[in-house]
Structure formats: structure tokens, C-alpha cells
Amino acid sequence: MDTFPITASSLARYYKIEPVNFTRCYKECLSGFPQWEQRIHADKWLLLEKNMGTDLSIDETQIGDDVRTILTNKDGHGRKGSMIAIVKGTNADDIVKVLLQLPEDKRNAVKEVTMDFSDSMYSIVQAAFPNATIVIDCFHIFQRCIEAIEELRLKLKRKETAKRRREEAAYKRKQHQRAKRRAKYRATHPKNYKGEKRGRKPMRLNARFVPERLSNGDTMLDLLTRGKRLLAQSGDKWGTTQKARAALLFKHFPELQKAYGLVQSLRSIFGTDKDKRGKKDNKPETSREEASVKLDEWCQKVKDCKLREVKAARDCILERREEVLNYFINGSTNASAESINAKMKGFRSEIHGIQDLPFFLFRCTKIFG
């Protein structure tokens, strides 16, 4: 239990021990939690000085009812020895106050810190690790661009929904007018036929509005709804159905095609579509200088287009331009911090929620610290 995120109850059932008694025994006697030095302030902050390294990652995650900032060592690769600090909240001043308790020589020895676009984290790194190079994780760069495409898709979907409602209203008005004409005709032309019934079939007044369907069976609204996933993926990962849907989507909504093309051109600059499996070195093939030129060309393309959502993503990237380009030095990402976050969330699900926050953090330090 000190090395793997497993509950005391599941272990007790395996050895046919009373789960409640074993859980209490582990917490109060076997684990060493009562003698833990950081127990007093665990709900506010934790520091594991022994795990300090030169390449760090900083991120935030939800633990219990609060958002907490997590500092990790990349050399731990999301396993034992990864966790350095967990601080309650995202306020830069509070977190810096905790991190300054680390030895100054170790803080000054930090070479690189990977993070997302958060302003508070940027201030934290500048204050606590003055000699570190700040790198913006490329995943968050693409995430911001995909959010721009999603904003555009939702805007087009709202327009299409309004158009559909207008068509339905017009269809109902037409049906109502036809019903009035039929009633007026019947009032002046009584049914006095004999023998076999003649004429057209009775009109169905409650006929449902049927929207136009495209060649793949989707309506325009279905096309925009089901296109969400494929717009977040690279084109070479599409299946046959997705390719057909994408062709229709781009045909009827050229704005989405333009936005998607711009995002894919940015992705090609970072070279994230290339298969790097089996390679020990993840350093990008593009140099920082070449990437700077390509990024400027991409920004010019975005400037020439009329898509407000993509321009907002471009402005976000340009605000941290130097930190974005620092990715091309070593190809560093925030995978270590994201791995710790995912494992802690999985551990929280395994124990069915957090009843005792300090004990949960104690176990996390045992497993990842």
C-alpha cells in the first residue's frame, strides 16, 4: 500500500481480514501517518525537498473541494520521486512563499520549468526559480487552438439551429394555411359523391417537419454536432466515415475548413504528427530559429483571415512567444505533471472519494514522493 494506489479494504478482503479494522490499523499504526512531520500543514501545503531536480513541471489539479498547484520533477516520469510540492490554491504570492522554503542553491540550479498559459504560474516560476527557462507545453498550445475551432463550430451551430427553427415555423404556417383553405373548400363543397371515393387523399394536418438530409444521411445540425471529434484530430487519424463527414462539413462551412487548416499548419511546425515511438530523444527536428520564422509566417496567415476565434488563439500564443519557442530547445512537455494528475484522480476514484484529506496526501507522498 505504500507503493501502489490500492485501498486497505480491497487488500483486507484478499487476506480475509475485517476491512474496517484493517483500514483503521493501517492508518493509525502501520502507515506512520500519526508521526508524519507535515501532517499539521498538509491540508495547506506539502514540500518534498529530496525530489528537487533541474527539470520541473508545474500544473494545477482538483483535490477534494479545492484547486491545488503541483510541482513535479520530470526525472521521476510520473512515478516514485516525482512529487516536489502541493500547495492549496493558485495564488502566486501564497505559492511562492511556500516554494521559497526550498534551499536557494537547489532553486537556482533549476534549468527548465514546463507549464501552461497560466499567468499565476508564470509569476511563480519567475519568483521561485529565477534561472529557469520557461517552456509552454505544446499540448496546451494546440488545446487553445482547438478551443478556437470549437467556438467557431458552436457559433455556426447556433446559426443553423436558428435557421432550422425558422424553417419549422414556416412549415407550420404553411400547414395551417392549407388547413384553412381545405376547411373553406369543404364548407362550400359538401361530400355528395356516390360509389367509389375519388380525388386526392385527405391532407394530414399534423405532418412532422422533415429537414433536408445530406448524402451521408446527416442533417446540417447533425453534421455540426458529429463533427466535433474529427475537428480535434489530425486528418490522418480519420476513418472512412469521418473523411466523408469532413468533406461535407468543409463544403458547407468553409470557415471551419480555413480554421482547421490553420491549426494543422501550426501543428506541422511543432512536428507532433510524426511518429516518435522507439526514439529516446524527443528533441524537435526544427531549430528554434527556424521555428521562429515559421511561427511568424503562420501569424501572418491568421492576420489575413477573418476568423475572430483563431485570431484570439494567435494573440494568446504571441503573448508568450518566447516561452512557446523554448519548446524547440529540448522538446520538453508537461507530461510528467499531467501523469501525476491523472494517477491521483484514479487513486481518488479507487478509494471512492476523499474522506480524510491529510491522509490522502500522505499516501500520495508515499506513492509518488
Q: Which domains can be identified in the chain, with CATH numbers? A: 1-31 (no CATH), 40-137+332-368 (3.30.420.10), 140-179+214-273+282-325 (no CATH)
Structure-model confidence comparison of residues 343 and 228, the more confident one: 228
The whole-number pLDDT of residue 202 equals: 63
The pTM of this model reads 0.80
Q: Cα-flanking dihedrals φ and ψ of residue 355, to 5°? A: -90, -40
Q: Which strand ranges, in their side-by-side order, compose the sheet holding 55-63?
A: 45-47, 83-88, 66-73, 55-63, 112-115, 133-136
The secondary structure element, H or E, covering residue 86 is strand 83-88
Which amino acid, 71? L
Pair 124, 84: CB distance under 8 Å: no
Alpha-carbon distances of 327 from 60, 78, 192, rounded to whole Å? 20, 20, 86
What are the two backbone dihedrals, phi and then psi, of residue 22, each rounded to the nearest 5 degrees? -70, -40
Kindly report which listed range (112-116, 264-268, 275-279) carries the lowest average pLDDT score.
275-279
pLDDT, residue 278, reads 41
Question: Mean pLDDT, to the nearest integer, of 301-323?
Answer: 91
Q: What share of the chain is helix, strand, coil (3-state, %, to 5)?
A: 55, 10, 35
| 58-93 pLDDT per residue, tens | 988 888 778 889 999 888 887 888 889 999 988 999
Could you identify the residue written with the cell 505533471? Answer: 337
- Is the per-residue pLDDT at 229 higher than 70? yes
Q: Do the beta carbons of residue 61 and residue 344 sit within 8 Å? A: yes
Residue 12 has pLDDT above 50, yes or no: yes
Is pLDDT above 50 for 235? yes
- Whole-number pLDDT of residue 279: 47
Pick from 336, 339, 338, 364: which is nearest to 350 by CA?
364
Task: State pLDDT tens for residues 274-301.
Answer: 444 344 456 777 888 999 999 999 999 9
Q: Which helix (H) or strand (E) holds 134?
A: strand 133-136
Q: For 243-248, what is the mean pLDDT?
A: 93
The Cα 362–Cα 196 span in angstroms is: 88
CA dist., res. 59 & res. 45, Å (int) = 15
What sign does the dihedral 268-154-239-259 (CA atoms) show? Answer: negative
The answer to whether residues 353 and 341 touch, using CB atoms and an 8 Å cutoff, is no
Question: Which residues are registered as beta bridge partners of 133?
Answer: 112
Q: For residue 88, what is the DSSP state?
A: E
Q: Is 22 exposed, middle or buried (0-12, 13-18, 19+ CB in 10 A)?
A: middle
Residue 343 cell numbers, joined: 494517477
Rg (CA), the chain: 30
Give the pLDDT band of residue 122 (cuts 50, 70, 90): very high
pLDDT at residue 151 in the model: 94
The listed range with the strongest mean pLDDT (74-78, 177-181, 257-261) is 257-261
